[in-house]
Amino acid sequence: MRNIYYKLAQEKAVTESDIAISFSVRFWLFLITDILAILCSSFNLYHLLFDRTLRQALHNHIIIVLLFAGLIYQLTTVPLMLYYFYCGNGWILTLSPTFARLWTFVDYTCYATQIIGFAWACIERHILIFHQQWLATRKKRFFLHYLATIIVFTYCFIFFFVYILFPACEGIINPSPFNGVPVPCTLSESFLGKWDTICHGIIATFTIVIASSALLFRVLWQKIRLNRAIQWRKALRRHRKDQDSGGRILSFPTAGTYRIRQHPTAGFCRIQQHMTTTTITYGTSVN
């Protein structure tokens, strides 16, 4: 049974030479950025949680959740990637099916939580800035702020719990050629796979870019209408950070969506995951 489980993976396993960046270079790149991201996440969470004013601010709640999701990713799946870079594909093929699925579940759930949560944060900023009356009462705050955030992250957990741990196809480990994360067989063979690619990848990233751009124009238009001075440097700096985050996330899902048809083993490689985590982490520290 174990031989059947790994048969396709052994036939399609990607060697180090198939990727332009060597395993050793990727190891040090991921190690350095992961250490910095962990330090930055810990620093941000410490101030956001122990400073009462920051902790009670509504606009910081989603950031706290995103930082926790990023920290889980940095402390769990990234060390496994580092071990993969150190040992190569041979180590992936020795993993038990249960462990491989758990790794994939944590990796995909943390990624989706961050990108969908970030998209919701960009939308929620419109409410916090221009529609504060929608949050005037405790009941309104519960439904529009707390419940909406809970739904977003509960959805991510339930979707990938079913999608990864209970696949509708034969369980085969196909390690991603970029970071070794086992790619689920359902990614290219089911409706859920297409849903994951379109909704969690393409739509979410376009939402980040569009919502951030719309917020900039709304703020500038309001200042012009009220004859207030526009601090162009500050406005453009904040907009550039959001666009940079969204642009990085956006560029990679598009490439991954194309590669799934060219290389079944690669699938949706999630190349952007590590970059997304560090981008959100570093961006939060300067907001």
Q: What is the pLDDT of residue 120?
A: 93
Report the C-alpha gap between 58 and 63 in whole angstroms: 10
Q: What is the pLDDT of residue 157?
A: 94
Residue entry with tokens 């970059």:
275
> pLDDT tens track of the chain, all 287 residues?
444 344 444 444 444 445 567 888 889 999 999 999 999 999 999 999 999 999 999 989 999 999 999 999 999 999 999 999 888 777 877 788 888 889 999 999 999 999 999 999 999 999 998 888 999 889 999 999 999 999 999 999 999 998 888 877 766 667 787 888 888 877 766 788 888 888 988 999 999 999 988 988 888 887 777 766 555 555 555 555 554 544 444 444 433 333 333 333 333 333 344 444 544 554 544 44
Report the C-alpha gap between 86 and 27 in whole angstroms: 7
* 3-state helix/strand/coil string of 90-116: HHHCCCCHHHHHHHHHHHHHHHHHHHH
Report the C-alpha gap between 106 and 69 in whole angstroms: 10
Q: Which residues pair with 149 in a beta bridge?
A: none
Does domain 2-285 fall into CATH 1.10.1660.10? no
Domain limits, the chain: 2-285
Q: What is the pLDDT of residue 95?
A: 81
Take residue 137 and report the two structure tokens written for it: 């009462």
Q: What is the pLDDT of residue 17?
A: 44
The length of the chain is 287
